[in-house]
Structure 1
């Protein structure tokens, strides 16, 4: 960067930040499938559930609301419906014992549903959205998504409001506190993520 170049905000890309979540889920699934025993699988499975839950709520509250302002109403409605189904599958994975014979399939089904949905976002919807944004709007959209990720529940709540509005935000704040207690009481462990997001404070 040359001396005197303005640095009013760091440039971020909402499509890239969303895809980081998708790619982390892809990586976690691969790690789960190659894990050699239950003790290795448990924290990976917990991380998969956490990342899919956080991602889904964060998108609904930030990205899908942005879809609506850019006349992408059909995409927003379709994605919210798909998220509702994915959340139910993630909830089942979250509440099924890992000792059960069908747990691997339950988790795999949830992750596959998540990734099929993610692929359409990456290939069609997000490029369309980004094409309508200025760089400053794109950065703001990315920051909104990243900030929202820190505010939503870390476990799936498929019967909570899914509108992306105030009701979902309030339910999310309550759910986040509840989930933290549950994770502490149950001693859930997590693994690190392969990819990191941009700076939410930028």
Structure 2
């Protein structure tokens, strides 16, 4: 058991150090920090724009290789972002807003639909029938969720958050994304602490498999 844990830990560490996207993510994080990105709303919106950008590269690729790389990056970004929200943002909504629990439960339901669609899409190839239809449908659902989150949830949350709480949420969100699964697992629980436990078990396997996937250079 200890030997297996050691091997997984070493591979997970190697993945974090060598995965180009992980390195880029770290650079973006430190660059954002330098500009004082201390609002959770700004952090969430930055992720949303990243995800939308990779979607555009999937549906408007220069070639199939670029499309595959964009697909893997899209899945990587969206899977981590979704769990980060479920572990950090939604509990914050429940804690700080009077109707936060209802708001968070609605968001979790919307996430579940997206995660199930992402599970299907992440296993598809560009040559598969329904490839573009699947990602377009996924993005339609996700775009509605993003709009509601940015215009309603985050606005209400920012109105009641103290600056120290805001900064703490940003740090927690970024740290959380470094340890969660990088692929969609829709059958996993969507609330902590069970989601945290399942995520910690699934994440090392996802990170190991990422070593053999194509990502943007």
TM over 0.5: yes
What is the correspondence of 1:38-53 to structure 2 with a 5 Å cutoff?
38-53=64-79
Q: How far off its partner does 1:11 sit? A: 6.0
- Secondary structure, counterpart of 2:180 in structure 1: coil
- In the alignment, is the contact (CA less than 8 A) between 1:11 and 1:136 conserved in 2? no
Q: How far off its partner does 1:140 sit? A: 0.7
Is the aligned partner of 1:190 residue 2:215? Answer: yes
Q: How far off its partner does 1:151 sit? A: 1.4
CA distance in 2, matches of 1:179, 1:134: 36
Which of 89, 92, 97 is the aligned partner of 1:63? 89
Q: Which one has the bigger helix percentage?
A: 2
Which of 88, 91, 112 is the aligned partner of 2:116? 88
Q: Any unmatched runs of 5+ in structure 2?
A: 1-35
Which of 143-152 and 78-87 deviates more? 143-152
- In the alignment, is the contact (CA less than 8 A) between 1:86 and 1:113 conserved in 2? yes
User: In the TM superposition, what whole-angstrom CA distance separates every residue of 1:67-88 from its partner, at most 9, and x where no partner exists?
Assistant: 1111311110100011011100
CA distance in 2, matches of 1:171, 1:55: 16
CA distance in 1, matches of 2:91, 2:84: 10
CA distance in 2, matches of 1:98, 1:33: 10
CA distance in 2, matches of 1:57, 1:102: 26
User: In the TM superposition, what whole-angstrom CA distance separates every residue of 1:83-105 from its partner, at most 9, and x where no partner exists?
Assistant: 01110000010122332121111
Is the aligned partner of 1:101 residue 2:125? Answer: no
Q: Where does residue 27 of structure 2 map in the other structure?
A: none
CA distance in 2, matches of 1:37, 1:11: 35
- In the alignment, is the contact (CA less than 8 A) between 2:88 and 2:172 conserved in 1? yes
Which of 175-184 and 150-159 deviates more? 175-184
Q: Where does residue 188 of structure 2 map in the other structure?
A: 160
User: In the TM superposition, what whole-angstrom CA distance separates every residue of 1:43-76 from its partner, at most 9, and x where no partner exists?
Assistant: 0011111111111001000000111111311110
Q: Any unmatched runs of 5+ in structure 1?
A: 1-9, 193-202
Q: How far off its partner does 1:19 sit? A: 0.6
Cα RMSD, aligned residues only: 1.4
- In the alignment, is the contact (CA less than 8 A) between 1:11 and 1:135 conserved in 2? no
TM-score (norm 2): 0.79
Q: Where does residue 157 of structure 2 map in the other structure?
A: 129
